Amino acid sequence: MRISIVIPAHNEAIFLQDCLDSFVAQTYLPNELLVVDDNSSDDTFNIAKDYAKKYDWIKVVQRSSSNEHIPGKKVVDTFNFGLQQTSDFDLIGKFDADIILPKNYFELIVNQFQANWKLGMCSGLLYIKKGENWIYENIADKNHIRGPIKLYHKACFEKIGGLRPGVGWDTVDTLLAKYHDFETVTLPQLKVKHLRPTGHGYSTKNYQSKGVAMYKIGYGLVLTKIAALKMAWQAKSPGLYFQAIFGYLRAFFQQQPKYVSQKEGKFIRSYRWKGIWSKLHAI
């Protein structure tokens, strides 16, 4: 299976070498890895260029954009810029520049795709360093495919219409994959080191955008309250709940455009409620 990987990168010099070393060391190499340097002011481009000189399957391009931090949209726009320059593929990956993959990452995942024709998305799990230990980054269930390590089958990627340019893109893609009857799988034996924990440098505006995303995904107010409570609990930040609800209500009253159709939104709400009831019954 032909694998194309796109890594959006903005000022990732401190992490990029370790990241690319983990790709080079794979037992099943990607056919193509494209680093998209998005307006970096550090050595990101030069580091990527050095790897491109050594390995003909690694490429680097530069994208000019604003310096404004736009959560979700900026990284998706940068990914899409790289996607336009990829070759034909069976699997397309959106990876971050601050991760280190285990050596057998693509080997095991390709085996999953080859064994299951309904598989639309697959990944390992993210771990962050606490003291001397690497622990699971517990901001999502272990069955959720996280944004920094997304690998899609081409048929699924095309069916869901690519990635939505905004916060929540890495949730709505999974839900839309299920809507189109694709399966999603995480492999717990594939432990990916996440060198910069999620949420690093988040501002109040970023947290409000999570509520906006829940509106755009079609959650409805009650589901949004439940999801916001869970996020606030995991982040140990009660204020996050109120910021998310504020963001949701603002998007609701502004009637901002949604990521999904009415039919897709109805499926997503039903799917989420089934998940909640199943967890309650398990208690």
The 3-state secondary structure of the chain reads CCEEEEEEECCCHHHHHHHHHHHHCCCCCCCEEEEEEECCCCCHHHHHHHHHHHCCCEEEEEECCCCCCCCCHHHHHHHHHHHCCCCCCCEEEEECCCEECCCCHHHHHHHHHHHCCCEEEEEEEEEEEECCEEEECCCCCCCCCCCCEEEEEHHHHHHCCCCCCCCCHHHHHHHHHHHCCCEEEEEEEEEEEECCCCCCCCCHHHHHHHHHHHHHHCCCHHHHHHHHHHHHHHHCCHHHHHHHHHHHHHHHHHCCCCCCCHHHHHHHHHHHHHHHHHHHHHC
Q: Give per-residue pLDDT as tens, 67-118.
A: 666 678 999 999 999 999 999 999 999 999 999 999 999 999 999 999 999 9
Cα separation, 226 vs 51, whole angstroms: 45
Q: Which carries the bigger pLDDT value, residue 232 or residue 218?
A: 218
Go through 217-251 and write b for each residue having 16 or more CB atoms within 10 A of its CB, e for each that does not.
bbbbeebbbebbeebbeebeeeebbebbbbbbbeb
Residue 141, pLDDT > 90, answer no
Average pLDDT for the chain: 93
Residue 203, pLDDT > 90, answer no
Residue 201, pLDDT > 70, answer no
| CB-CB contact of 51 with 5 (8 Å) | no
Averaged over 246-273, what is the pLDDT?
95
Instruction: Give percent of the chain with pLDDT exceeding 90.
Output: 83
pTM of the model: 0.91
| CB-CB contact of 235 with 199 (8 Å) | yes
Place of tokens 């998005």: 38
| CB-CB contact of 85 with 61 (8 Å) | yes
Q: Which carries the bigger pLDDT value, residue 5 or residue 138?
A: 5
119-130 vs 133-136, strand pairing mode: antiparallel
Q: Give per-residue pLDDT as tens, 114-136.
A: 999 999 999 999 999 999 999 99
Averaged over 135-159, what is the pLDDT?
94
Q: Give per-residue pLDDT as tens, 1-39.
A: 999 999 999 999 999 999 999 999 999 999 999 999 999
pLDDT at 69: 63
Confirm or reject CATH 3.90.580.10 for domain 3-194, answering yes or no.
Answer: no
Please give the structure tokens belonging to residue 18. Answer: 């370790």
Averaged over 218-238, what is the pLDDT?
90
Residue 45, pLDDT > 50, answer yes
Instruction: Give percent of the chain with pLDDT exceeding 70.
Output: 95
Residue extents of the structural domains in the chain:
3-194, 204-282
Residue 282's pLDDT band (cuts 50, 70, 90): confident
